[in-house]
Amino acid sequence: MGAETTVAAVLRVEAAEKSYGPRKALKGVSLAVGRGEFVALLGPNGAGKSTLFQLLTGLFNADRGRVEVCGCDIRRDAITALAGIGVVFQQATLDLDLSVEANLRFHARLHGMAGRDATARIAEALAQLGLAERAGDKVRELSGGNRRKVELARALLHRPRVLLMDEATVGLDPASRRQLLDQVLALREDGVGVLWATHLVDEAEAADRVIVLHQGKILAEGTPAALVAQAGTGTLAEAFLAMTGGAEAVVRGSD
């Protein structure tokens, strides 16, 4: 494994491999995310980020290797392991014709929450994200940024130890991207471990650690400053380009 977190790992991947026919999408990927740590998984499109997230969320099993959530093997006890994970996928998964509150109540029921407990958690989550007054609105009436906030609220309702963010800012304007990133960064204070997958270098600059993934392999891992020093460049964007041989990267989202 590359550079490891020095705090207790809430998510651990060991030598994960995944192939689709002759194409090897992941080639022995190992990583760890510590409690209260924000880790950016930085890679261009096609690097293997989505495949890795499919393994982490139980959509597919790794051909080889191991995935653990809070010490629980996802292959041996998927229900317990997945209960410790919250996820915001790249593709929106809200029901546009239901209200914000109805979307959250449906998720709460899936996790065994009902009655006053669900009501309190939903109210708390929406208040924290500035959406308390939008609880009764249909999701289709919300802006893209607010829809993402609802998905974040939903991912956190069951109080997971690990939050997975899969290219969650795609399609958002710069202000909404920054706001969502800041809200997720603040979760470190609650001890939530975050794995934030992105192809946007400026988002990775805010991370405690950056893991550079390219063509299914981890090329480098460390703090943003350490990766810049290792590459002998002036910026993280330049370091990323040097490590990946000029692979397509986006320094900042479009204005």
Strands 72-73 and 85-88: unpaired
Residue in the structure block whose two tokens are 């449906």: 106
Residues 154-171: tens digit of each pLDDT? 999 999 999 999 999 988
pLDDT value for 5:
53
Percent of the chain with pLDDT over 70: 93
Higher pLDDT, 192 or 249: 192
Q: Which residue has the tokens 């020093």?
A: 229
Domain termination residue (choose one: 159, 191, 212): 159
pLDDT at position 224 over 50: yes
pLDDT on residue 1: 39
Report the relative pairing of strands 209-214 and 38-42 from DSSP bridges: parallel
Is-contact 176 148, C-beta < 8 A?
A: yes
Tell which of 144, 159, 174 closes a domain.
159
| Burial of 149 (C-beta count, 10 Å sphere; 0-12/13-18/19+) | buried
Task: List the domain range (segments joined by +) for residue 181.
Answer: 1-84+160-255
Does pLDDT of 77 surpass 60? yes
CATH number at residue 184: 3.40.50.300
Number of separate domains in the chain = 2
Asked if residue 3 has pLDDT above 80, the reply is no
pLDDT at residue 103 in the model: 97
pLDDT, residue 250, reads: 53
> How far, in Å, CA of 88 to CA of 163, rounded?
8
On whether both 93 and 44 belong to a single domain, the answer is no
Q: Mean per-residue pLDDT for 95-100?
A: 96
Residue 27 has pLDDT above 70, yes or no: yes
Q: Are residues 46 and 144 in the same domain?
A: no
* Helix 144-156 / helix 115-128 crossing angle, nearest 10 deg: 140
Question: Residue 45, Cα to own-chain centre: how many angstroms?
Answer: 16
Domain check: are 146 and 203 in the same one?
Answer: no
Provide DSSP, 110-154: HTT--HHHHHHHHHHHHHHTT-GGGTTSBGGGS-HHHHHHHHHHH
Whole-number pLDDT of residue 205: 96
Structure tokens at 239: 């370091």
Cβ(173)–Cβ(56) under 8 Å?
no
Residue 224 dihedral angles phi and psi, to the nearest 5°: -55, -45
The residue whose two tokens read 């202000």 is 175
| pLDDT mean across residues, the chain | 92
Q: Taking residues 5-22, report their average pLDDT.
A: 88
Q: What are phi and psi of 211, to 5 degrees?
A: -115, 120
Whether the Cβ atoms of residue 206 and residue 236 lie closer than 8 Å to each other: no
pTM of the model: 0.92
pLDDT of residue 4 exceeding 90, the answer is: no
Q: How confident is the model at residue 114 (pLDDT cuts 50, 70, 90)?
A: confident
